[in-house]
Structure 1
């Protein structure tokens, strides 16, 4: 049991580390320059424009941050929710890959917003006529590597989820069972194991009533006195005489 727990813990941490590294690489790539666009000399503008990954692939930053949040959620997720998060992770990795590949496959189209900002020229055909050459940096390929790591880590969660140890006790309810069962099942089982109390007899009820203090009687007298005083005031009499 201890050996299986150790293996499951290593698988869990390795998978989470892989997902963390993949999301971190994608986030790092989004902040770096992806393309160096050299423009023609037909207009009064800069000859070279550097396009960052956050411009070429606008969704990449949000997807990377979602991957980091997914890693934190997997750390405390239960078995069923863990599978749901893993499937979301696969979809997340595919989205990162599509975003990066789309930018690389059409660098001019991905950089059109930056070119328009630098030159003031708008329109796809006009922007493409301004571009003389495109140099692709290493960073978009690093984003694709990060996407692959996210997909592999998420798939590993689905495959090896049964080996993962349960969530930490600090995230469980106070009365949760040692085996990870919810608190309501544990309480129900405890109630079933508790022997039923003997039904109270008439003699027991009468004895309990005789021994209990009559706490309501003074309150009842005070209430009656207050009502009588109010009635006397209503009639115009002074109740203090």
Structure 2
């Protein structure tokens, strides 16, 4: 009897399934929170004696693309095999590192991060010329929140890379056993034919019934 058919194997699959679900939900939640941070006010600068509000879309504009890329990984991880799950986990960690870099740069250089918006509003171009217009600045908690989210994304990506091999592979055992039964135990070609596996699943059969 295969280890996967034992109660211990069932327990491992159950734990792996829960871990996979929690990981995918965590990525989605972190991406949504990153979008939220990106959409908020990050800085209020004093430009020519007047308050000038700078949002995350200006100071941390790349965060929206990073959040979208993270969401795309959810779909990829849901169908990837064990090896590619590890690769995608590392990629998620790299996305988190990019979030940290973008947020840290904005916090360290709020005027530079807002230069394009200030130029658009005042018509003054050039970093030095723009910097002379700014006489004060204050920061909200949102860029800090974005940086913290980046750290959490890095940790989550690394955790996925370490644990993804224990995730269950949906439909693999079902599709092979079904085709073997249809072709006969001596026909190995049918069991490994991806076209026939796809056709079997496309027929609408419920894998839980087999």
Write out the 4+ residue segments of structure 1 that deviate beyond 4 Å after TM superposition. Answer: none
Aligned to 1:200: none
Is 1:99 matched up with 2:122?
A: no
SS at match of 1:95: helix
Distance 1:161 1:136, change over 3 A: same
Unaligned runs of 5+ in 2: 1-8, 190-210
Match of 2:187 among 181, 186, 191: 191
Q: CA deviation at 1:134?
A: 0.9
* TM-score (norm. length: structure 2): 0.77
Aligned to 1:72: 75
Q: CA deviation at 1:120?
A: 1.3
Is 1:148 matched up with 2:151?
A: yes
8 Å CA contact 1:16, 1:153 repeated in 2: no
8 Å CA contact 2:85, 2:165 repeated in 1: no
8 Å CA contact 1:30, 1:61 repeated in 2: yes
Q: CA deviation at 1:7?
A: 1.2
More helix by share: 2
Q: CA deviation at 1:12?
A: 1.3
Determine the C-alpha separation between the residues in 2 that align with 1:157 and 1:15: 7
Q: How many residue pairs align between the two structures?
A: 180
Q: CA RMSD in A?
A: 2.6
Match of 1:162 among 160, 165, 172: 165
SS at match of 1:166: coil
* TM-score (norm. length: structure 1): 0.68
SS at match of 2:176: coil
Determine the C-alpha separation between the residues in 1 that align with 2:76 and 2:32: 16
Aligned to 1:177: 176
